[in-house]
Each structure stands twice: as C-alpha cells, then as structure tokens.
Structure 1
Amino acid sequence: MITPRTTGQCGKADYGWLQARYTFSFGHYFDPSLLGYASLRVLNQDVLAPGAAFQPRTYPKVDILNLTLNGEAEYRDSEGRHARAKAGEALLLAARPGVSYSELNFSKTESLTRMQLWLDACPERENTPLQKFTLRNEKHQLLASPDGSQGSMVLRQQAWIYYIALDEGEQFHTDLHGSRAYLQSIHGCVHTRTGTEQKTALTCGDGAFIRDELALTLVADSPLRALLIDFSC
C-alpha cells in the first residue's frame, strides 16, 4: 500500500531568516497522527537566508542526516568538531546527550537549502560522531546503512537511505528490507509500481508512506531527485 503525503499537506514555517517544510510534527507544527514513521522522526526541507544560523542546541539520541541541495553549510559541536557541506554533500551527525550542535549558512550572499532527517538511534549503539558523503554521478546510491555497505555512512539504526537521480523515463527497482519505507521527491515527478501493480504518482516535493510491499519500482516522469528510506521493520 502506498499513501501519498503531498507537499500541500505538510507543515510550513516562515520566520524570515528560515523557511521550512515539515513532513512530521516539528516545532510549532503538531499533528498527533504524524509523530514520525518507523524510526524516522523528522524529515524537513529548510531554506536559510544568507548568513543565518541555528544557535547551539542539544538533541535526543538520534542520527541527523543533512543533505545540502544548494549553498554551503557549516556545522560545529561543543566538543570542537566542525565540517562544511556544499551542494551534493551529506553529513551524518550521531547526536549524543550533553553535546550541542550549531548550523550556519556559510554564505553571506546566497541561501542555503537542505534536507534534514532524524532517525532514532538504537540505545546500545554508538558511532563516529561525524561522517561525510559526497554524491557521485550515479542513478542511485546508498547514502547510509547499518553496516556502511557500498561505501555508505553508518547509521545506529536498521535503515537504508538511498539517493536516486533519474532522467525522464528511467527506472529504479529495489527489494525492500521490511514492511515499511518512505519515499520523498526532492525534485521532479515520479510514479511508483509495486508487486501488486499499484501505481501512485508524486510531484515535486511530495512524499509517500509505503507499507507491506516486498519491492518497489520508481519510474521518472521528469528528471528526478529523490530519497528512499527503507526500514527493516
């Protein structure tokens, strides 16, 4: 079963220095039926004004994946680590209690656009505090996984995050690890096919809850950039 979550249904915020779209409850946006999905707690798209910053703050024990779409971000933590990520790069932060994290739009003249995902971390697992991944010129690639397979970043959770880049008419097929997955279109239109031959069309910015399917096929109706988060349960 595939259930769309259109961009028009998402929560939104406009603070001047920050424009945001929230798939799940976040900040002032609250929907008790949308507190997350499987281990995915947050899926936001944010646009930060030139020079804008999130001040240092702490997080629960989650893995935070930031994928920069436009501009350049700078991240710092209270233990002295820092890194930058420009368009086409992703950072994975293994948030820990007692450590604060800040984020800055490094440019004084250009906006920063990025996707941010939070996934609950397994309580017994620890990980490298900061990992970085540079997108390759490939149709699909594994950004993060539990074991770092295919050169991916390592999650503290049984989830697999794919970045998909298809030209119009191209397809991506994958078997799913468990009964749930989530698909997010970043740019472009796509329709999905499952083993039950169900078809669902998504436009730019739409997402979809995927339940009880063994496999999934994506067909790009226009040049497509998307994320697929595949959960083992």
Structure 2
Amino acid sequence: MITCRTAQQCGQADFGWLQARYTFSFGHYFDPKLMGYASLRVLNQEVLAPGASFQPRTYPNVDILNLILQGEAEYRDSDGNTVRVGTGEALLLATQAGLSYSEQNISSSTPLTRMQLWLDACPERSNDRVQHLSLSAQPHQLLASPDGAQGSLQLRQQVWIHHLNLPAGEQLTLALNGPRAYLQSIHGTLSANGEHHDGQKLTCGDGAFIREENRLTLRAETPLRALLIDLPV
C-alpha cells in the first residue's frame, strides 16, 4: 500500500536560528509510533540561519546523508578533518565511534537549506569516512547504494536511494528491491501508483510509506524533485 504522511503531520521546530521539519521522532519531537522506518532512522528538512551551526556531537552507528538545497556548509570532525559542500551537492558521512561532528552555515547572508537522512549502518562494514557527489539534473540518478553502483555513494546498509528530477508531465517507473520504501517530495506535486494498490498524490514536503509493492510509477504534476528510498532490510 501507499500511505501518505503530509508535511503538516510532521514534527516542526522554529528556534530562530533553526527551522526544521521532522518525519520521524527527533530532538524534542517524539512519537513512539514513528521511531524510523526499517533502517531509515531520520529524515529531516532543516534551514540554518546565516552563520548558525550545530555544535560538535557524537552519533550512533549511522550513515548521514546531507543534500544541500541552498547555501554552503562546512563539516568538521574531532580529528580535524573538514569538508565544504554547496548547493546541488550531496555528502555522506560514515560516522565513527569516538568521533564528534559539527556543521556550520558558512555564509553570513544566505540560509542553509538541506535534507538530512540517517541510515543504520551494518557494524561489520567499513566505508570511506566522507563521500560526496553532485546531484544530477537528469530525471533519475541513483544517489546511494550498497555497492556504489553507477557512481553512487556507497552505504553500509542494503538501501538504494534514488534522486528524481522530473519536468511536469513526465512519468518514471522504478522497480523496488523489497517490501518497503519511503518516498519524499522535496518540491513539486506528484502522483505515486503501485502495482497492487490505489495511488496517492503528494505535494511539496509530503512523504509516503510504500509497502508490498514491486514497482512504483511516479508522475510529476508540476516540476518535481523527490527522493525514493528503497528499504528491503
């Protein structure tokens, strides 16, 4: 089935320096029924004010994927490593035990807008600590995968993440590797239809739980950017 979770149903935060929308329980937002979905632990959209930062903190054993939608961020770990990522780029951090990480909007005038995902990492897998790539303007890009296929970022988990960039009226059908997936509209309106159940319409900021579908057909009603997170495990 396809079950919509609208942007209005998500957790919200406005701290002045940070505005956020939380799909799953995070920080002050807690819902015991929404602690994640399969290995997807966190799916946030956050806006950091110019010059704002997240102070150093440690993380559980997760892969953190950041998609920069606007602005430029600097990430630093407690070993002294730094990386800068700007608009239209994706950064994957393979968190390490004992290391802390910080994030700063390095612009003094432009907000930093990004999507952030946390995915449980298999403890026996070890990948590069930092990977990044540019988001494609093509209709479909395999953004992350377990084996780095098609030049994608390599995850420490059996998950495939697709970045979609469709003009209005275009349709795309994708096969799924297992019984679960999550669909997230970054901006734009789309219809999502599976093989076995009635479809749903999503608009900017909406998401949808996908269950027991082998294939998913997406049609952009307006210019669309979206993520499809294939979660067979």
Same fold (TM over 0.5): yes
- Equivalent residue, structure 1, for 2:41: 41
**CA positional deviation for 1:147:** 0.1
Structure 1 stretch displaced more, 78-87 or 24-33: 78-87
* Separation in 2, partners of 1:197, 1:58: 41
- Equivalent residue, structure 1, for 2:112: 112
CA offsets, 1:83-110, max 9 Å, x none? Answer: 1111100000001110000000010011
- Equivalent residue, structure 1, for 2:102: 102
- Equivalent residue, structure 1, for 2:58: 58
- Equivalent residue, structure 2, for 1:9: 9
Taking the TM superposition and a 5 Å limit, the aligned residue runs for 1:69-80 are: 69-80=69-80
* Separation in 2, partners of 1:21, 1:14: 9
* Separation in 2, partners of 1:197, 1:39: 24
**CA positional deviation for 1:197:** 5.3
* Separation in 1, partners of 2:217, 2:40: 21
- Equivalent residue, structure 2, for 1:136: 136
- Equivalent residue, structure 2, for 1:93: 93
Superposition CA RMSD, Å: 0.7
* Separation in 1, partners of 2:24, 2:65: 16
Taking the TM superposition and a 5 Å limit, the aligned residue runs for 1:1-233 are: 1-196=1-196, 198-233=198-233
Identity over aligned residues, as a percent? 67
* Separation in 1, partners of 2:190, 2:104: 32
Moved over 6 A (4+): none
Q: Aligned pair count? A: 233
Paired letter, 1:187: H
Q: SS at the partner of 1:27? A: coil
* Separation in 1, partners of 2:79, 2:38: 30
TM-score scaled by length of structure 1: 0.99
TM-score scaled by length of structure 2: 0.99
Structure 1: stretches of 5+ with no match in the other structure: none
**CA positional deviation for 1:136:** 2.1
Contact 2:64 2:92 in 1 (8 A): yes
**CA positional deviation for 1:181:** 0.1
Paired letter, 2:24: F
